[in-house]
Structures are given as C-alpha cells and as structure tokens.
Amino acid sequence: MTNFFENMAKFDSFGANLARIGMIIVLLWIGGLKIIPYEADGIVPFVANSPFMSFLMDNPSEYKQHMNPEGKLVPENRQWHQEHGTYTASYVIGAIIVSLGLMLCLHPWLPQVAAVGSLLVAGMAFVTLSFLITTPESWVPALGDAHSGFPYLSGRGRLVIKDAIMMGAAVVTMAHSAKAYLRKRATAQAA
C-alpha cells in the first residue's frame, strides 16, 4: 500500500503543470471572449455591484434596466452599454485576464514571471469570489418556497463559486513556479 501512495506522490509536478495548462486555457479563452458584446453583457451585474470594479462603468446603478438576458438581444440595451462603458470595462478586464494567461505560459523560460502571474490569478479569483457577496444576481431570488434565496446559487453564482478552484490552482502553480525560479537561480549562482 505504501508504494501506491509513493507513486501518487510523484505526480505533484505533473499536477501543477496540468493545473497551469488548465488555467492558461480558461484565462485565454474567457479573457479573449471579453471583446464580444454578449460576454460583456454577462458580466454587467458583477462589475456594476463590485466595490473593486464599478468605477469602470459610467452609471452602474442603472444596469438592471438595461440587461440583455443570455440568448436575447435588445438593441437599445446594447446601445446603453456602449454609451456607459460596459464594453470598455469588458475590454480592460479581458486584456488583464489574457495577460495573466500569457504570464503563466512563460513558466518554462521565466518561472518568476509565471509565479507572479499565478499570484495575480489568485488575487483575481478572490475578487471574483467577492461577487457572491456583492452581486444579488448570484443567488436564486427568494421566491417564497424552501428552494430559493440563500444558499441556492443562480447560474451566475455557480459560475463564480468555481473560482475557489482557480484560487487553489493558482497557489499551487505559484509555489511550483517559484521553486523552479529558485532552482534556476541557485544553478546559475553555482556556475
């Protein structure tokens, strides 16, 4: 039985690399989608209600009147978002997310950059998880039955809670990249 666990223990580096690849895919894909209006429409409640991000929109208090439900397009709402900074905010957020993904890609060559990128991803995940507190749309509205309201997550809330995994993976890859950098530095100093 000990051999079984010894063999499992050998997968720590493989697991860190697998977590990094998964985060890179998610960061580049989701970050890249932020230039598309439908993706920006989806993040409006998060940005508008966030104490960390609401400054990116001109008039975040009016967002509820102008939300495009997923799968529907109301041109007047799209115009409102265009005029009030929603899409600009989404472009900025997307650029940051893509940049973090690219930083993680540098692990083989610049592990110190990947370590900092992972630290920033953990911070991003923390901000995203804060949406569970700041965004009313994260919860199923109280409908008067036993299966609505807190603790029942809406689709948005289920999307957000997954960042708990992103935060954990970022800490694992941060440590993995930092160790790689320290090894690389020690080898260079010894030479």
The per-residue pLDDT for range 69-123, each reduced to its tens digit, is 888 889 999 999 999 999 999 999 999 999 999 999 999 999 999 999 999 999 9
pLDDT for the residue numbered 38: 87
How many structural domains comprise the chain? 1
Closest by CA position to 171, among listed 103, 121, 102, 101:
121
Residue 182 to residue 136: CA distance in whole angstroms: 44
Residue 125 to residue 68: CA distance in whole angstroms: 25
Residue 39 to residue 181: CA distance in whole angstroms: 36
Give mean pLDDT, residues 46-75: 90
Quick one: CA dihedral 45, 46, 47, 52, positive or negative?
Answer: positive
Give mean pLDDT, residues 131-150: 92
Question: In this predicted model, what pLDDT tens digit does every residue of 160-182 receive, in sequence order?
Answer: 999 999 999 999 999 999 999 99
pLDDT for the residue numbered 119: 98
Helices (H) and strands (E) in the chain, counts: 8, 0
Q: Is the pLDDT of residue 68 over 90?
A: no
Residue 69 burial by CB count (10 A; 0-12/13-18/19+): exposed, middle or buried? exposed
Residue 109 to residue 102: CA distance in whole angstroms: 12
Residue 103 is part of which domain span?
2-190
